Amino acid sequence: MNSKIKNVEIYELGEKGREVSSPWSSTILLVKLTSSDGLTGWGEAPTTFMTLPVRESMHEVERIFKGADFFNVERNIFDFYRNSFYLSKSMEATSALSAFEMASWDLIGKQLGAPVHDLIGGEFNPKIRAYSNGWYSDCKTPDDFVAKGKAMVKKGFTALKFDPFGPNYDRIDRQGAKTASEIVGALREELGEDVDLLIECHGRFNTPYAIKAAKGIEEYDPYFFEEPVHPELEVGLEEFKRHIETPVALGERILNKRDFTRLISQGLVDIIQPDLTNCMGILEGKKIASIADAFGVLVAPHNAFGPVQTAASLNLDYTMTNFAIQESFEESWPDWKKKLLKTGYKLSGGYFTLSGKPGLGIEVDEKILKSKIVDGMEPFDPAEPPWVVSGTFK
């Protein structure tokens, strides 16, 4: 058995001429590792307004992984950690590393003939409850949200995440808070108590305005408030939690188990959302989940990019005793992204299931991949940040 990484290929994929900046409909970054025995492993990195920096960082990671034994996940990560001086604060570096780590597990599983989840704890959750995101493009009024929300429920989803705050940023005025409350209230009334409503704040508020925004929504029993304050203002989470009883969720911008541990141990978060494409991959994700479990904190992985990320997240989800719910943009993807995998997982009736095949369980359609190779920065819209759902911020 030869478990060396012989070749590394890095791909930027997108849709030429599609001027949509949101990451679930524009660029994605993939790495393909080929072993000396001819096996292939796939990994994915995020691109939110940093496509080219992450892509270049992937070439830095390549220098550590190429020629290495892909079974030595811990050693290879530590070797990069030792060389990458700013790793703990560089999302570009941790994202690039995550893609290679993920692809290594894909190779390990294929070499051993087992799905990744069987190698990191086995099946605990046989099917994975999903919540839909990205569904509310161009929604501004309560009626807009209700119409599209009903369509998602009709597809089988029992949980929807959305950002009802429009163009309000840093602060929110009385009308902005009123509109957000009306949107959530209309969804609760029309969809009923059996559909969970997950409130996305996108880390946009200063603490007093986060509290103001949440107070008008809390009566509708949201599942959580995600990133209610700016990510640099984590001290504000303690104040937020003094006023708001709804669970706080966050984690897509936290890059390692140590930073997660600090927030969890201080009681600042109730549901963590590690993103396997930036928190150093599957093994680190498993460690983060175990730390959370020790404090009674649930895990709902962030998952806003492509199908390789989804497959990796699901392999971890299958094993977690403290799993809560899985993010899904699948229904809002462009057609090419939906077809990029020939096999891997299914989403039906609001639940995910894995293929059970070795590694991540996926087969990439390389014909589609090669037809979608692009080179350059993501589209840029000066009127709307790339982290919002299209048409909701202007």
* Cα dihedral value 166, 169, 171, 176, nearest 10: -10
Q: Residues 59, 117, 230, 302: which is the catalytic one?
A: 302
Q: How far apart are CA 394 and CA 388, in angstroms?
A: 10
- Taking CA atoms, 265 is separated from 228, 249, 291, in Å, by 19, 14, 9
Strands (E), 121-247: 128-132, 159-162, 196-200, 224-226
Whether 202 is a known active-site residue: answer: yes
Is-catalytic flag, 59? Answer: no
Tokens 């709902």 appear where? Answer: 300
Helix axes 91-112, 73-83, angle to 10 degrees: 160
How many Å apart are CA 41 and CA 34, to the nearest integer? 7
How far is the CA of 41 from the CAs of 5, 37, 307, in angstroms?
10, 12, 14
Q: State the Cα torsion 212-214-217-221 to the nearest 10°.
A: -150
Which residue type sits at 31? V
Q: Which of 117, 202, 230, 243 is catalytic?
A: 202
What are φ and ψ of residue 146, in 5° steps?
-65, -45
Cα 65 from Cα 274, distance rounded (Å) = 23
Q: What is the DSSP string of 248-261?
A: EEE-TT--SHHHHH
H helical segments located in 24-173: 51-65, 73-83, 91-112, 116-119, 142-154
Return the active site residues.
Answer: 202, 302
